[in-house]
Amino acid sequence: MIYLLDDTLSFPDPRGGEPGGLFAVGGDLSEERLLLAYSYGIFPWFSFRDSDMPHWYCPMERFVIFPKEIHVSHSMRQLINKGELRVTFNQDFDGVIRNCGKLREDMEGAWLGPDIIEAYTRLYENGYAASVEVWKGEELVGGLYGVTVGNVFCGESMFSLVPSASKLALISLARRLEKIPGLIIDCQFETPHLKSMGGRHIPYSEYLSILHGNTDEEKILSKTKNGTSNSESM
């Protein structure tokens, strides 16, 4: 079922949505609604040229990366050891989000339009969003950005202007988050690129447990590797 949202600051239970995760349309991109959405693993994703209303997704199988499971290939180790690329955190959020949008603006279904950029910039300015930048000299050549809520960094988009720059950004993020027990990176949807770097699916119920800190990471790792899950009501 697809719900139509009004101005009320709330969401229906997403577990009755479509298999792809879409369960609601409407509402707005206010900071309050976005933070409420992310606190339940819900995120907006819609073609800004084709719709004036946000589309809200919440996949029941979440594609995530546990930071300690990040895969660093031999070629990436060589790239890191060369030291030609430099990584920073939260030094150029605007540059990252605008490059992410620019590289996709001509694609069918492009979703990173002006309203999304404005909304997530507000989140960054208020301390809820973050960016990772990759530099070659003084040039921004790659990076990613996302939203941090609870124990989850929700990755939104990444870009590369030179080979493997976005991979380096993700590896650097994982290494930083690994120092804080219990955190995970939410990739939202599976891609071959993210799967090759250690991403895997966990059930929504497990995702919520991690997000809200209801259990520890070692138990989650054990459970999800064994393919078990718990049911949970909202």
Per residue in 16-62, pLDDT tens? 999 999 999 999 999 999 999 999 999 998 876 677 899 999 999 99
R_g over Cα of the chain: 17
Per residue in 51-63, pLDDT tens? 789 999 999 999 9
Per residue in 77-105, pLDDT tens? 999 999 999 999 999 999 999 999 987 76
What value does the mean pLDDT take over residues 163-169?
97
Structure tokens at 155: 């990755």
- Measured CA to CA, the distance from residue 89 to residue 133 in angstroms comes to 6
- Measured CA to CA, the distance from residue 165 to residue 186 in angstroms comes to 19
Is 134 in contact with 86 (CB distance < 8 Å)?
Answer: yes
pLDDT of residue 230: 30
* Residues above pLDDT 70, as percent of the chain: 88
Q: Which residues contact 70 (CB under 8 A, 6 or more apart)?
A: 170, 171, 174, 175, 178, 197, 198
pLDDT of residue 112: 82
Q: Which residue has the higher pLDDT, 180 or 162?
A: 162
Q: Across all residues in the chain, what is the average pLDDT?
A: 89
Lowest-confidence range among 92-101, 106-115, 125-134, 211-220? 211-220
pLDDT of residue 109: 56
Per-residue buried b or exposed e for 189-216, using 16+ beta carbons within 10 Å of the residue's own CB: eeeeebeebbbbbbbbebbbbbbeeeee
Global pTM value: 0.87
pLDDT of residue 105: 64
Q: Please count the CA atoms within 13 angstroms of the CA of 133 that sit on its side-chain side.
A: 18
Per residue in 201-233, pLDDT tens? 999 999 999 999 975 444 433 333 443 333 222
- Measured CA to CA, the distance from residue 234 to residue 26 in angstroms comes to 21
* Residues above pLDDT 90, as percent of the chain: 78
184 pLDDT more than 70 = yes
pLDDT of residue 49: 65
pLDDT of residue 48: 62
pLDDT of residue 225: 40
pLDDT of residue 115: 92
- Measured CA to CA, the distance from residue 33 to residue 158 in angstroms comes to 23
pLDDT of residue 207: 97
